[in-house]
Structure 1
Amino acid sequence: MKDTFLLITSFFLLATVQNNVALAQQNLSTSGMVSSSSSVEGQEANFAIDNDTLSYWESTAKDTEPWIAIRFPGATEITGFKIIFQEGAVPNESVHFQYLLNGDWRSHHLVKENQSDKIAVNFEKVLLTDRVRLIANDKQTLHIAELQVVGQQYVDDDAGEVKPLLVNQSGYNLGRPKRFTAPGVPDKTPFVILEKDSEQEVFSGLIKNEKGDFSEFDPTSTSEYLVVSGEKTSFPFRIGPYWLERVSYRPMLDFMMGARHYVGNVSEIRNLSFAWRDGDFFNWAMQSLVALYASNPSAFERMEITGRYQSNASFPEEYQGLWGVLEPFRENTPDIVQLMHWDADVKVSQKLDHEMQKAELAHFLYAWPFLSRWLPRQNFDRVYAYTQSVWTKGTVSPHANSQYDRSPEHNLLALKTQLGSTKGEMPPGFSVIPNLMMYEVGKREGDPDAGMYFDAAYRQLEWMITHLDWEDPMTTKGQRMSEHITMRAFAWFYQEYPDRHPEGLKEKVEEWARIMVERSDNLWDFRKYDEDEWTPPGWNETGNILGFPAAVFAANTILGKDHKEVPRLEEIAWAHFENAFGRNPTGRQFSFKGPEEVEGVDLGWYSRHKGGIGLLEELPFVFDGSPKNFHYPNQPEAGNLGWTEGWVQFNTAYNTSMAYLANYYTRLECRQSDSGVLIIRLEAPLNFHKDREEHGRVWLTNKAGKSIPVELKEASPFSLALEGRVKIQDSELSVGAHVLRLEENDQLKVSYGYGFFEKKVTVNGD
């Protein structure tokens, strides 16, 4: 996948940089933060960058690979370095000058056979980075009076002007947190919201900690608005009942339809690709699609159908057998179900047995009760048989694997203690939900051994409660776009098995919440990597920002609405959506084509990656890039620096967040009037457009298990809710052509959503 190829392109940190600015060369060491592998008391690392050759840093005698590192406040053009060893000390013969790339230190210049107490090196090519270190490789102690790094602060001519007030350029949801960032603006500075066309003031407030909040502003209007403070202004934006869902739902599916391997908008066979181009084995596509559909089915069932079945038999010989084991879906199958069918078909047809791949099939099997009206029973039987046959298989077939595999073994009942890297390929707890799903599927299918799946999930979560250290960023943000899987495992177990989950679950989540709130105390409400780092050093972490809200909303369902951290966590979750739509140091939405594709977006990402394994650049709704560590806390002048390339994994993280967002705010109510009318009210992301009446469907089910659908319609053009009424008469409910008979003392269930995301209420059927 794309990050490995940074070394090949040499674009990210090591580059020949053009003269972007004409600044004098200077010693930048004093502007940085210094650290070291060790130090003798009284000779700490800061003495090596204090411009005083009489003071010095000394590593300890036991430190056989001593190093000193400097982190600069932003991206820096380095043209050389100078070392002055402590007067009277024996200089080191061999040292490496290194830079950080994707979390690893890479050697840039080697000094060897040195006998001098001063070393000066000028680079032939400029090194572009935000951190360097000097490490001795001669096993000797380092005594450094001065380490001078020569260069200049990097400024990209193409950075462009950034608005002084940063907002979600597209728009905000009614009734939800709405915030903006005002870098450098003093506390208690007034701001106002203006209606753009009339310039009328419609809201006012005060800036605090370089942020403004207008969450209480909930207009019922299609107007554009501006944030204004003195001479400073923002991009225009709108506010609507479900604005984020309105601009996302259809493009999300269009991206997934086009990103399919073999049959998407590109038919070329690609490496590191299975069901999705550049998807590898850890794209989490199936679970993101199942979650989306289960959380808000009416939104996806009412969409225009754009997909069609493509027979494997009609493709050239080299494509034969890559899909086609599953029988085709039925006519009028929604696009989102077509996508699930495609994913399962490729996995079973190719007999993909990597533990991540076969774990994804559990989501398809779990979802079968609400997929079965679109798909033939053969689909379930074939997937179930295959999944059962490989679930405990400890090895992986070479054709189902890649160089990113870190799994010690592939038995999904085994305890998983291996922690993945910042690649995102093995997040803690990835087997918990799949095993719980297989438990439910097994019970449904009468499997006498179904309990083994529950036991494996229990052991895994118990281990996570005991061993995961939330202070270690590799258990959270360090998992990159896959982080959401961990907290979702906690939520699934807690919600579905409230009396059977391991002890300490809620307390573990409370600890997580506290740390996430602490790490988000900044002008962007942005959850940092750790106390010092904003993002995983060197990585394009776009998917983490897009997927983090899923983790927050999952955690909040455990904490409960009255928990002290929940309101702040909601703000943080929404701030990450805002970050993706322009409330960030670059002032840009994450998609290069954002202005032409996303309603309301004014400024998209600087560029897009053309080619790559995924060939994604021509697809809609590609999340191309996001601010890097050196852009934070507010260095927009770094501009288009760092790796840029869309990835299916970024979009599936966003899919998952949108699913958990819908679930978190969906509310279902039903009451019976004195005249025997059922009054049903549903709050769900379904009312997108003022100029059309929008509908959704709930289900009424009696004690005998028979169900009929009930259509609801929006209560008003700007309402968050849909409403409907059903008359109970002569012991039956009649809705159009559907009739539901009621027995004496019958009980009715009203439901919306499916499986884990089902919302339901019960009423007496008198």
Structure 2
Amino acid sequence: MQNINWNKVAVVFLLSIFAFAQSSIGQTKNNLALTGTASANNFLPGFDPEKAVDGITNSESSWKNEVDGSPAWLLLKLPGATEIIEVAIKTPQESSGISDFKIQTILNGSWRDVKDVSDNQNHTISLTFDKPILTDRIRLWIENGRQVEVSEFEVYGQKYFDSTATEVKKILVNQSGYNLGRPKRFSAPEMKEQIPFEVVQQNDRKSVFSGIIKNGIGDFSEFNPESQEEFVIMANNQESFPFRIGPYWLERVTYRNMVDFMVGARHYVGTTDLIRPLSFEWRDGDFFNWALQGMVALYLSNPETFDRMEKTVSYVPNSSFPSAYKGLWGTLEPYHENAPDIIKLIHWDADVKISQGLEHEMQKAELAHFLYAWPYLEKWLPQQNFDLVYEYAKENWEKTTVKPSSTSQYDLSTEHNLLALKTQLGTTKGEMPPGYSVIPNLMMYEVTKRKGEQDAEKYFDAAYRQMEWMIQNLDWKDPLVTKGQRMSEHITMRAFAYFQTQYPKRAPQGLKEKVTDWANVAISRSENYWDFRKYSDNEDWVPPSWNETGNILGFPAALFSAMSILEEQGILQKLEILAWSHFDIAFGRNPVGRHFSHKGSEEIEGVDLGWYSAHKGGYGLLEEVKFVFDGSPKSFHYPNNPEVGNLGWTEGWVQFNTAFNMSMAYLANHYTKIDLTKENNNKVIIRLKAPVNFDPTKEESITVKLYNEQGMYLSVRLVEESPYSQVMVGELDFSQNKLTYREEKISWKKGETINVSYGLGYFQKEATFLRRD
């Protein structure tokens, strides 16, 4: 999931270095530092780090650190992936030189020593490496806290080129397709001037839309055809991959796949029955996979669509396995066999947690989502399920310790009491995002109120204190608070949204303003020809050295969360573009022009080119699972270096898919709308906009319940307004104080309201209508 794939490139390294050495004989060496940018932890006025990479060797053009008792470092960042074979450090003759230092490169988000020098007496020292070091950043580290002066920090090598890299399209699109009525953009990074483009029908080459590429981006959002045609973008005699446009195209090609992935990735009973390390409910899921809350969110956002899916999962009893598996699941009584697959997966996650007594704060926090959603799950699950989970959560919520079998090497929690204030932040591994206790505590507040508990308010108070701390202390300009939280970043902004939308009158002061600040930072870091939110304000596009796939997939959930709070139209429009651009990036609109799934062209309708490769083995053993997000462009590939090819670690991770699940839930919620209108005094019309109409070749429907004030209801079937419509419509008759649907009737008197809703829990959208005549 994280490491540079050294084995894969070893042969290429040796060949390229040999060629480099041959071509360099008798030539002046090329100092690559002159093409890079330098930074340092500190410097004296007039001795800034850029002066150490300017090619001028004297004391007046040097970097000099400020002595403060801490180690000093000088960092060089190169434009792209580079095979470094030598570095040279030059200090002015009149200086004391540097006797002890280290040369470091970054790997897995952490610095590692590649040379350790002591007792150096020279003002110029050259260091060669036994084998080339592939990196885009290298650092001089001085431990002793003394003042040093560096006139030149030189680096020699050559830009990395993967001889197996395939040609990348000059026009990059979402290879599968786009949703009707939503932002539709593409990237053409080599077309920076204003260049005309056309949208062309693939079959007859007929031009159906035209526009102008500006700064490497084309926009055809206004093109909303009602057809099953495939289209391509054409400009400058270049052509994109073909794509389709449909009312809910992204949902059409992912919903079943999302469920299938979770089915196959289950620990013990998925595509393999092996017991895996770092795994609990899901293979290689660890304690911070957010799977349960993601599946609950998916179901609450669009329940009817998951209800009508084909059922493929059957209960697997623990007793049918050998003794080594005893007690790993099975404490919760089985679900009903007619339950939707997603409900069975939710049950699986909760069952493993309870059966194994998982005490880690993030494992038990997930159980709050199960308890909160119980009113919508209970028709498929035995009451015993709720009772055991509720008892377990109540007993363990404030427990501070955790048994070794509940955690792993990535545990940074200082204690596990979920009512405690959480000020510890995680690393770019993604294990401790800010605010992970907020939504669980607010859900426990609702659940315990529902149960009539006298101490329910303590959960709300804990969430409030946590949110207050976040408002006062989180610095959105620090990438470790945002994109640096990797695939877990969505947790933070979702906490803001949940508090504000569910408790608007009790939300802490400054919440909306804090979200506005977050949005402005995200927008400011996204002004590039990918519409890609960068890691920081400097040259870093992604967290250094990491496979950040899940961050891109989960970022739309954070964006839609912010949009549920903000009102300024200019900001909302930009955030919406970013949400869709990050879906598009995962589907091929990126520097390497590939979908993030290696088997994307086999498993996802319309995808032409999947990720270069898939990891075999690993803790997750995911190679046989459907819809694995295997890889994404690394720091080397940005801003546009496709020739780097298949460089960097490739490996799917449950955490990547669960981040996508969450984004798809918040996508559905954001656009779902429901309306009630009364027409001509004798008709009541229900109009629902929700991700339901996936196939224009058949009539699709959905059933909602319309209630009167007495709690009586009519089940009303809504059908698509037209084959390509995003709207489902149903009609009731009204006469003599009665509403009639088919043969059923309920009363509706003057001065009374009727209501209808879609979505469940915190995702419920409701419409009411007051009868005035």
TM over 0.5: same fold?
A: yes
How many residue pairs get matched? Answer: 761
Q: Secondary structure of the equivalent of 2:362?
A: helix
1:36 match: 40
Aligned residue in 1 for 2:332: 326
TM-score norm. by structure 1 comes to 0.96
Deviations 1:650-707 (A, max 9, x none): 0010000000000000110111223533211111111111111111121222323344
User: Structure 2 vs 1, CA of residues 217 and 277 (structure 1 numbering), >3 Å: closer, same or farther?
Assistant: same
Q: Work out whether residues 354 and 392 of structure 2, in 8 Å CA contact, stay in contact via their aligned partners in 1.
A: yes
Query: Residue 315 of structure 2 contacts residue 337 of structure 2 at CA under 8 Å; is this kept in 1?
Result: no
Given residue 564 of structure 2, which amino acid in structure 1 is its aligned partner? T
Task: State whether residues 12 and 162 of structure 2, in contact with CA within 8 Å, keep that contact through their aligned partners in structure 1.
Answer: no
Question: What pairs up with 1:225-236 in 2 under 5 angstroms?
Answer: 225-236=231-242
Q: 1:757 aligns with which of 743, 759, 763?
A: 763
RMSD: 1.9
C-alpha distance in 2 between matches for 1:742 and 1:321: 54
In the alignment, residue 44 of structure 1 is paired with which amino acid? Answer: D
Write the distance in 2 (CA, Å) between the matches of 1:78 and 1:648.
34
- Residue by residue, what CA displacement relative to the aligned partner does 1:5-37 show, whole Å, maximum 9, x if unpaired? x38x75599998242584445321111111123
Cross-structure match for 1:389: 395
Q: How does 1:466-477 map to 2 (within 5 A)?
A: 466-477=472-483
Matched, 1:89 2:85: no
Are 2:555 and 1:559 aligned?
no
Distance 1:351 1:704, change over 3 A: farther
Decide which of 546, 554, 570 is 2:553's aligned counterpart.
546
Q: Give me the whole-angstrom Cα distance separating, in 1, the residues matched to 2:491 and 2:664.
A: 14
CA distance in 1, matches of 2:285, 2:744: 43
Cα distance in 1 for residues equivalent to 2:766 and 2:660: 26
- Following the alignment from structure 1 to structure 2, what is the Cα–Cα distance between the partners of residues 77 and 316? 50
| Contact persistence 1:191–1:227 (CA under 8 A) | yes
Q: Is the deviation greater in 34-43 or in 593-602?
A: 34-43
Question: What is the rounded CA distance, in whole Å, between the counterparts of 1:418 and 1:62 in structure 2?
Answer: 26
Structure 2 residue aligned with 1:256: 262
2:529 equivalent among 499, 515, 523: 523
Q: Select the residue among 638, 641, 649 that pairs with 2:655.
A: 649
Structure 2 distance, partners of 1:458, 1:97, is 46
Of 473, 476, 492, the residue aligned with 2:498 is 492
- Aligned sequence identity (%): 56
Q: Alpha carbons of 1:749 and 1:463: their partners in 2 closer, same or farther (altered >3 Å)?
A: same
Deviations 1:271-301 (A, max 9, x none): 1111100111110011101111111111111
Which one is further off, 576-585 or 718-727? 718-727
Residues 673-688 of structure 1 mapped to structure 2, 5 A cutoff: 673-688=679-694
Moved more, 567-576 or 140-149: 140-149
**Residue equivalent to 1:150:** 156
- What is the deviation of 1:56? 3.0
- Where do 1:4-43 residues align within 5 Å? 6=3, 17-20=13-16, 22-23=19-20, 24=23, 26-43=30-47
CA distance in 1 between partners of 2:524 and 2:7 (Å): 34
The aligned runs of 1:424-439 (5 Å cut-off) are 424-439=430-445
| C-alpha contact 2:437 2:463 (8 A) present in aligned 1 | yes
Shift of 1:729: 5.2
SS of the counterpart of 2:569? coil
Change (3 A) 1:307 1:732: farther
Aligned to 2:365: 359
State the one-letter code of the partner of 1:206.
I
8 Å contact 2:68–2:145 — kept in the other structure? no
Letter in 2 for 1:287: Q
Q: Which amino acid aligns with 1:353?
A: E
Q: Secondary structure at 2:381's aligned position in 1?
A: coil
Distance 1:220 1:160 in 2: 34
Q: Distance in 2 between matches of 1:569 and 1:102?
A: 30
Q: Quick one: distance in 1 between partners of 2:554 and 2:654?
A: 13
CA contact (8 A) 1:171 1:239 kept: yes
User: Where does 1:445-460 land on structure 2 (aligned, <5 Å)?
Assistant: 445-460=451-466
Shift in Å at residue 333 of structure 1?
0.4
Are 1:724 and 2:730 counterparts?
yes
CA–CA distance in structure 1, aligned partners of residues 737 and 338 of structure 2: 34
Task: Provide the C-alpha distance between the structure 2 equivalents of 1:283 and 1:737, rounded to a whole number of angstroms.
Answer: 48
**Hey, what's the Cα distance between the residues in 2 that align with 1:739 and 1:417?**
56
Letter in 2 for 1:360: E
In structure 1, what is the Cα distance between the partners aligned to 2:374 and 2:284?
A: 27
Secondary structure, aligned partner of 1:217: coil
For 1:537, what is the secondary structure of its paired residue?
A: coil
1-structure distance, mates of 2:446, 2:8 = 46
The residue number in structure 1 matching 2:27 is: none
Q: 1:329 is matched by which residue type in structure 2?
A: Y
Please list, as runs of the form range in 1=range in 2, the aligned pairs for 1:699-718 lying within 5 A after superposition: 699-718=705-724
Letter in 1 for 2:15: N
Aligned amino acid, residue 91 of structure 1: G
Match of 1:141 in 2: 147
Q: Residue 191 of structure 1 corresponds to which residue in structure 2?
A: 197
Contact 1:312 / 1:319 at 8 angstroms: preserved in 2? yes
Q: d(CA) in 2 for partners of 1:741 and 1:277?
A: 53
Q: What residue ranges of structure 1 are gaps of 5+ in the alignment?
A: none
Question: Aligned AA for 1:158?
Answer: T
Per-residue deviation, 1:118: 2.2
Which of residues 592, 596, 609 in structure 1 aligns to 2:598?
592
| 3-state SS, counterpart of residue 716 of structure 1 | coil
C-alpha displacement of 1:165: 0.8
Q: CA deviation at 1:641?
A: 1.1
Deviation at 1:138, TM superposition (A): 4.7
2:412 match: 406
Give the counterpart letter for 1:584 in structure 2.
N
Q: How big is each residue's C-alpha offset from its partner over 1:729-764, in whole Å with a ceiling of 9 and x where there is no partner? A: 565555467654557754321011100011111124
Q: Partner of 1:535 in structure 2? A: 542
Q: So what's the TM-score if we normalise by structure 2?
A: 0.95
Read off the aligned partner of 1:587 and give its amino acid letter. Answer: G
Q: Which amino acid aligns with 2:13?
A: V
Q: Is the 8 A contact 1:550 1:658 kept in 2?
A: yes
Q: Of residues 52, 56, 75 in structure 2, which corresponds to 1:52?
A: 56
Distance in 2 (alpha carbons) for counterparts of 1:43 and 1:434: 50
**Amino acid in the other structure paired with 2:635:** N
Secondary structure, aligned partner of 2:353: helix
- Map 1:274-293; keep pairs closer than 5 Å: 274-293=280-299
Distance 2:742 2:389 in 1: 36
In 2 relative to 1, CA 73–724 (structure 1 residues): closer, same or farther, beyond 3 Å? Answer: same
Q: Retained in 2: the 8 A contact 1:257–1:339?
A: yes
Matched AA of 2:371: L
Secondary structure of the equivalent of 1:751? strand
Q: Counterpart of 2:442 in 1: which secondary structure?
A: helix
Q: What one-letter code is carried by the residue in structure 2 that aligns with 1:198?
A: D
Using the TM superposition, name which of 524-533 and 132-141 deviates more: 132-141
Q: Does 1:514 align with 2:531?
A: no
**Among candidates 224, 237, 251, match of residue 243 of structure 2:** 237
Contact 1:419 1:426 in 2 (8 A): yes
Alignment partners' CA distance in 2, 1:176 and 1:564? 16
Distance (whole Å) between structure 1 residues aligned to residue 11 and residue 652 of structure 2: 22
In the alignment, structure 1 residue 125 sits paired with structure 2 residue 131: yes
C-alpha distance 266-740 of structure 1, shift in aligned 2 (>3 A)? farther
Please report how far the alpha carbon of residue 376 of structure 1 lies from its aligned counterpart in structure 2 after TM superposition: 1.2
Structure 2: stretches of 5+ with no match in the other structure: 25-29
One-letter identity of the residue aligned with 1:592: H
For 2:350, the aligned partner's letter is A
2:586 corresponds in structure 1 to 580
Q: For 2:69 and 2:77, how far apart are their aligned partners in 1?
A: 21
After TM superposition, give the deviation of residue 57 of structure 1 in Å: 2.7
Tell whether 2:378 aligns with 1:372. yes
Distance in 2 between residues matched to 1:12 and 1:402, nearest whole Å: 29
Equivalent residue of 1:559, what SS?
coil
